Amino acid sequence: MPQLDPSTFAPQLFWLLVTFVLLYLAMWKIALPKIGSILQDRQERIDDDLEKAEKLKQDAEAVREAYEKTVAEGRNKAQETIRSASGKMAAEAAAQHATLTEKLNAQTSEAETRINAAKEQALANIRTVATEVTQAAAGKLIGRDISEADAEKAVASILDEERH
Amino acid sequence: MAAEGHGPLAQFEIKTLIPLKLGEIDVSFTNSALFMSLTLVLVTLFLVLGMRKRALVPGRWQSMAEMSYEFVANLLRDTVGSEGRKYFPLVFTLFMFILFGNMLGMIPYSFTFTSHVIVTFAMALAVFIGVTVLGFVKHGFHFFSFFVPPGVSVVLWPLMIPIEIISYLSRPISLSVRLFANLTAGHTMLKVFAGFIISLGVVGGVLPFAFVVALTGLELLIAFLQAYVFTILTCFYINDALHLH
């Protein structure tokens, strides 16, 4: 086994020492600080960016809150306006409705009075006409004159009967 | 086996590329040294070039570089906590060194320096000595209380303390042998089955070929997993040294 040949030990150990120490120095002084600084830069950058992002997020949140507040205020105001306007309109409508009702009632009662008067008059007229017609018709039928009072009596009895 | 000099273990041979001497000591630049150097260069380029754009939103390459950083950093933080931060460069270097060494070894005809027990043992021993020294520096002689398991009656101490000491001392061995044995076994098996493809010919070789393909996938997983295991155990040892129990 070539690994167990002691004559090869010295050069291997010597070059192991040389190359390992050189590599150690290269790592310690050059490579690792380089990588370490870049990693640190990146970490700082990331932290910085995260901080910035956090701040921006807070700003956005504040803006959103302000916006929502404005919207809520606007909505309240609008509702207030609507409420007052509808109240006013309802009051107006009620007032108009009341005046109209009053007027209509007055007209209705006036018309009723007129109708009643007309009806009374018409009834009176009917009675006169009917009496005359009865007097004339009876005179023609039975061949003798009937007194106006008898005719009126007969008409009145029939009309009164009908009215009941 | 296949042709002479190409046995399953031939891939582990150390070949001297440039003979060098430092006093009496042989410090030749070998194929092992070549791949260690390649690892050094590739890891450095992977990270430095990957991060050259310093992009805030990383591309694929930069993502991979960052991922390796965060992977080891999380590993260390989860096992040791924030005090482990100091040892991050070392743990990271260990992870990348072993990972790239293992991965480079997966390239055909390349050499896997982590398949040599002397290399893994040297790393494990360095970790072991390091965390032991760390424990003593942090806790002084109180560090020895680490060998006394909490909640065990005094009667059992003569039994438990030697067991704890042996298990502590066997850490560098288990740590190094785990890595070395996994890679050696895997690479040997790959080579053996690759040899079957040649010896069984075009028709019979299909089966071992399919097996080698599957095994290569498994070995890639093991290459990562062993680097991970070595690293996480190192983290555990650091944690033990810092917090005792």
Most distant CA atoms of chain A, gap in Å: 186
Q: What is the pLDDT of residue B5?
A: 55
Exposure of A163 in the CB half-sphere (CA atoms within 13 A)? 9
Give the total residue count for chain A: 164
A21 touches chain B (CB under 8 A): no
Q: What is the pLDDT of residue B183?
A: 94
Cβ atoms of residues B183 and B112 within 8 Å: yes
Percentage, residues of chain A above pLDDT 70: 98
Rounded to a whole number, what is the distance in Å from the CA of A10 to chain B's nearest CA? Answer: 6
Contact B27 A41 (CB under 8 A): no
- SS3 annotation, B152-216: CCHHHHHHHHHHHHHHHHCHHHHHHHHHHHHHHHHHHHHHHHHHHHHHHHHHHCHHHHHHHHHHH
Q: What is the pLDDT of residue B141?
A: 87
Contact A11 B48 (CB under 8 A): no
Q: What is the mean pLDDT of chain B?
A: 91
Angle value at C-alpha B185, between B183 and B190, nearest 5 degrees: 95
For residue A106, pLDDT beyond 60: yes
Over residues B141-147, the mean pLDDT reads 87
Over residues B15-26, the mean pLDDT reads 89
* pLDDT tens-digit series, residues B195-234: 888 888 888 888 999 999 999 999 999 999 999 999 999 9
Rounded to a whole number, what is the distance in Å from the CA of A50 to chain B's nearest CA? Answer: 15
Q: How far apart are the C-alpha atoms of B181 and A13, rounded to whole Å?
A: 18
* pLDDT tens-digit series, residues B22-72: 888 899 999 999 999 999 999 999 999 998 888 888 889 999 999 999 999
Q: Which residue has the tokens 């290459």?
A: B223
Q: How far apart are the C-alpha atoms of A119 and B101, rounded to whole Å?
A: 135
For residue A163, pLDDT beyond 70: no
Q: Please, which residues 1-20 of chain A have a Cβ atom closer than 8 Å to chain B?
A: 1-5, 7-16, 18-20
Question: In this structure, what are the phi and psi dihedrals at residue A100, rounded to the nearest 5 degrees?
Answer: -60, -45
Over residues B123-140, the mean pLDDT reads 94
By C-alpha distance, which of A131, A37, A3 is closest to B47? A37
Give the contacts of B31 (CB within 8 A, at least 6 positions apart): B14, B15, B17, B111
For residue B193, pLDDT beyond 50: yes
Q: What is the pLDDT of residue A132?
A: 84
Cβ atoms of residues B127 and B175 within 8 Å: yes
Rounded to a whole number, what is the distance in Å from the CA of A3 to chain B's nearest CA? Answer: 5
Q: What is the pLDDT of residue B151?
A: 81
Contact A11 B29 (CB under 8 A): yes
B98 touches chain A (CB under 8 A): no
Q: What is the mean pLDDT of chain A?
A: 90
Contact A35 B47 (CB under 8 A): yes
DSSP codes, A27-79: IIIIIHHHHHHHHHHHHHHHHHHHHHHHHHHHHHHHHHHHHHHHHHHHHHHHH
A46 touches chain B (CB under 8 A): no
Q: What is the pLDDT of residue A26?
A: 95
Rounded to a whole number, what is the distance in Å from the CA of A5 to chain B's nearest CA? Answer: 9
Query: Which residue ranges make up each domain of chain B?
Result: 10-243
How many helices (H) does chain B have, and how many strands (E)? 7, 4
* Residue B3 banded pLDDT, cuts 50, 70, 90: very low
